[in-house]
Amino acid sequence: YLDEARTIVELFASNLEQSPRGLTVLALAASELLAAEKPEGQSAAPRAADIEQVAGSDAKDKPGDKLILLAEQQEEKPKKDELVRARAYLSTDRLPAGGTCQIIVLLDVKEGWHIQANPPSPDYLKPTKLSFKSKAGVTLGEPKYPKGHGFKMEGEETEAMVYENEVALLGTLAVPKASGGLTDEMEITVNYQACNEKGCLPPKTIKLTGKLAVAKAGEAVKPINAKLFAPKAALNR
């Protein structure tokens, strides 16, 4: 595959220099070809073609064909003790001035660990919380947290309500009409406490940052990431 890829890149090198965006379809086609020829049993990790950054993307795909990423943790190499990873997606390609859109933050919790549900049970536990800041005045409504499931720690008589594996946190963003035409800078914060069957670590905070254009007032926005925001897909995780 490496030799094939090198041959293709060398063949189209001049075209890439003159018009890099014009060969988006070629790159996607090459990715699909290699994926189709992948031997059985090989790792099925997500390909780069399956996730795009919102800013600067001009691929003309049907809504929902790809996951278009708003923000994720930016460490080049995840820390060995990083127990929770986060990434955020919006339901629209731009923020709708004077309207609302949906946001979903997906958390990946390391196997063997869990984080506390919201609302917490017992109530002295530190719940997982989602918050949002915006330079353009965009506000986050009351987040929707999934239901936790029971987990009993060593030495405890009562079960705690927890989240494990992949967790979806949902919210609605309200965009001021006056922010139309601006580019918003957003900060998404997730507070959590990671525990295993033996005990808990100190609470931690994840911060995600992203920039996104606000459509002009009255201008239509395009729905994206449909498979994440389908009624069943978002909460049944």
pLDDT at 147 over 60: yes
Written as one string, the DSSP assignment of 109-176 is EPTT-EEE-SS-SSTTS---EEEEEETT--EE---BPPP-EEE--TT-SSPEEEE-SEEEEEEEEE--
The per-residue pLDDT of the chain, averaged, comes to 77
- In this structure, the answer to whether residues 100 and 141 fall within a common structural domain is yes
pLDDT at 213 over 70: yes
List % helix, strand, coil for the chain (3-state, nearest 5). 20, 35, 45
Domain count, the chain: 2
Please state, in angstroms and rounded to a whole number, the distance separating the CA atoms of residues 76 and 97.
34
Task: Say whether the peptide bond before residue 146 is cis (omega within 30 degrees of 0).
Answer: no
- In this structure, the answer to whether residues 71 and 28 fall within a common structural domain is no
Measure the CA angle with vertex 171, ends 69 and 173; round to 5°. 80
CATH number at residue 72: 2.60.40.1250
- In this structure, the answer to whether residues 75 and 142 fall within a common structural domain is yes
- In this structure, the answer to whether residues 38 and 96 fall within a common structural domain is no
Q: What is the pLDDT of residue 21?
A: 41
pTM to 2 decimal places:
0.70
Pick the range with the lowest mean pLDDT from 14-18, 24-28, 68-72, 106-110: 24-28
Between 82 and 60, the more confident residue is 82
User: Sheet harboring 149-151: ordered strands across?
Assistant: 149-151, 160-163, 114-116, 194-195
Between 64 and 74, the more confident residue is 74
- In this structure, the answer to whether residues 63 and 136 fall within a common structural domain is yes
Please state, in angstroms and rounded to a whole number, the distance separating the CA atoms of residues 27 and 149.
43
- Nearest-10 Cα torsion for 97, 51, 77, 1: -160
- In this structure, the answer to whether residues 126 and 221 fall within a common structural domain is yes
Please state, in angstroms and rounded to a whole number, the distance separating the CA atoms of residues 235 and 217.
31
User: φ, ψ for residue 141 (rounded to 5)?
Assistant: -70, -175
User: Which residue segment(s) compose the domain that 223 sits in?
Assistant: 46-235
Please state, in angstroms and rounded to a whole number, the distance separating the CA atoms of residues 186 and 190.
13
- In this structure, the answer to whether residues 146 and 123 fall within a common structural domain is yes
pLDDT at 191 over 50: yes
At residue 198, what is the residue type? Answer: K
- In this structure, the answer to whether residues 143 and 67 fall within a common structural domain is yes
What is the percentage of the chain residues whose pLDDT exceeds 90? Answer: 51
- In this structure, the answer to whether residues 39 and 125 fall within a common structural domain is no
| 57, 69, 217 from 53: Cα distances, Å | 7, 5, 24
Please state, in angstroms and rounded to a whole number, the distance separating the CA atoms of residues 202 and 190.
14
Joined together, the tokens standing for residue 230 give: 């389908």
- In this structure, the answer to whether residues 60 and 80 fall within a common structural domain is yes
pLDDT at 50 over 60: no
Q: What is the pLDDT of residue 3?
A: 52
* pLDDT band for position 158 (cuts 50, 70, 90): confident
pLDDT at 34 over 50: no
- In this structure, the answer to whether residues 98 and 205 fall within a common structural domain is yes
Boundary (domain end) residue, out of 12, 30, 45: 45
At residue 199, what is the residue type? Answer: G
* pLDDT band for position 37 (cuts 50, 70, 90): very low
pLDDT at 51 over 60: no
- In this structure, the answer to whether residues 143 and 26 fall within a common structural domain is no
